[in-house]
Amino acid sequence: MIELHRGARELELAARTERFIRDVVIPYEKDPRISHHGPSDALRIELQAHAKAAGLLAPQLGEHLGGYGLNHRETATVFRACGYSTLGPVAMNCMAPDEGNMHLLDKVMTEAQKERWLRPLAAGTIRSAFLMTEPDDGAGSDPGMMKTSARRDGDHWVISGRKWLITGAEGAGFGILMARTDEGATMFLADMNTPGIVVERTLDTIDRTMPGGHGVVRLENVRVPAADILGEVGAGFRYAQIRLAPARLTHCMRWWGSAKRAHDIATAYACRRQAFGKALIDHEGVGFMLADNEIDLKQAELTIDWCAWVLDQGQQGTAESSTAKVAVSEALYRVADRCVQILGGMGVTGDTPVQQIFRDIRAFRIYDGPSEVHRWSIAKRLKKAWKGD
């Protein structure tokens, strides 16, 4: 049976995170170092120094990496508090793609690789990128369509291809490169300044919360030593599942916090603002929207905790994370959309963070698998179960 009890450490960390976000991070939200492509690395480093001083840098990691060794349920509680500011995950070094990458790397890397890449990443010294998605007819929702290839050349592999929507590519210290080999999809580790890795441009996207934005990357005969393969040759898709199921869920956790922030702002406005002789919240058209927000937030919270509990039981959680990704991303979008509507003209301005939260959460319905692909995957499992396969 799922356990909803929250332990003392979990509650203390969440309370400390709430104070940190309120007192330290939120005042940075108007900082000019936040561009259309996300916070600058200078701002990221400054924020992470504050988090380190507060004992809140990458709290989800194991103690051997400076964290608290949180399980998925504890992580959910802390990450929801962290997400109350869109800068919170950046400050606490638990933003995408680094958080998901750290989860995978800690499980698969050799000790030598951890010293070279994972420890600096955990400490916030560098950022990382995950290079899997491709443009045109390459790997996207269907990673089996991958065009990027890697061929052996003595003690090296030579990788060629093109990637896009690569979060944090600009300014990343290293990347996980996914390529097709004769043995199957394989992950390679490479410093982003390796000859042949070219960040062509940073895309203009609807969101702006992730350092480095989302880039288009060209791989031109990139030579990677065999010692820098991540795990085993041909096991790339298996490792992707290790990363993607928990990463989908941590997205849900962080964006839940942002949706709660938007809801709090809209509630305060509706209680304060008068129209037609009474507060907005006393008009059913507004009050019912806020009530629906409460329902969506609670259902999303419970869905996150259920999936986190499944992962904590040692299960892969593929089906559960697909279910959570669809349910939570769409619920949070409804919350953010209602908040814009309640705020009216103010809701489409930068006077509150609500319009940016709305834009970021809209993108979430696509990132880490669009809702339609997850629904298709769920339907396939239903058919398989019906057939008794």
Whether the pLDDT of residue 3 is over 80: the answer is: no
pLDDT (0 to 100) of residue 140: 77
Give the start-to-end residue ranges of the domains of the chain: 8-95, 128-234, 237-387
DSSP letters for 147-204: --EEEEETTEEEEEEEEEEEET-TT-SEEEEEEEETTEEEEEEEETTSTTEEEEEE--
For domain 8-95, give the fold: Butyryl-Coa Dehydrogenase, subunit A; domain 1 (1.10.540)
Give the pLDDT confidence score for residue 83 in this predicted structure. 98
Q: Quick check: 5 pLDDT over 90? A: no
Task: Look at residue 282 in the predicted model and tell me its pLDDT.
Answer: 98
- Tell whether the model's pLDDT for residue 4 goes beyond 80: no
Question: What would the CATH number be for the domain defined by 128-234?
Answer: 2.40.110.10
Pairwise CA distance, residues 179 & 225, whole Å = 14
Residue range 138-188, pLDDT digits in tens: 877 788 889 999 999 999 999 999 999 999 999 999 999 999 999 999 999
**pLDDT at residue 64 in the model:** 96
Alpha-carbon distance 216 to 176, whole Å?
A: 15
Locate 330 and state its tokens. 């769409």
Tokens representing residue 21 in the block: 């976000």
pTM check: above 0.85: yes
pLDDT of residue 382: 94
Residue 251 pLDDT exceeds 80: yes
- Residue 137 binned pLDDT confidence (cut-offs 50, 70, 90): confident
DSSP label of 219: E
Architecture of domain 237-387: Up-down Bundle (1.20)
pLDDT in tens, 305-355: 999 999 999 999 999 999 999 999 999 999 999 999 999 999 999 999 999
CB 103 within 8 A of CB 247: yes
- Residue 1 reports pLDDT greater than 80: no
pLDDT (mean) for 79-95? 98
Q: What is the pLDDT of residue 153?
A: 97
Rounded Cα–Cα distance for residues 25 and 21 (Å): 5
Q: Taking the chain, what is the end-to-end CA distance rounded to the nearest angstrom?
A: 27
> For 105-127, how does the pLDDT look when each residue is reduced to its tens digit (9 = 90+)?
999 999 999 999 999 999 999 99
Which amino acid is it at 199? V
Query: Tell me, what's the pLDDT at 207?
Result: 93
pLDDT in tens, 24-41: 999 999 999 999 999 999
Max Cα separation, the chain? 80
| DSSP codes joined into one string, 314-339 | T---HHHHHHHHHHHHHHHHHHHHHH
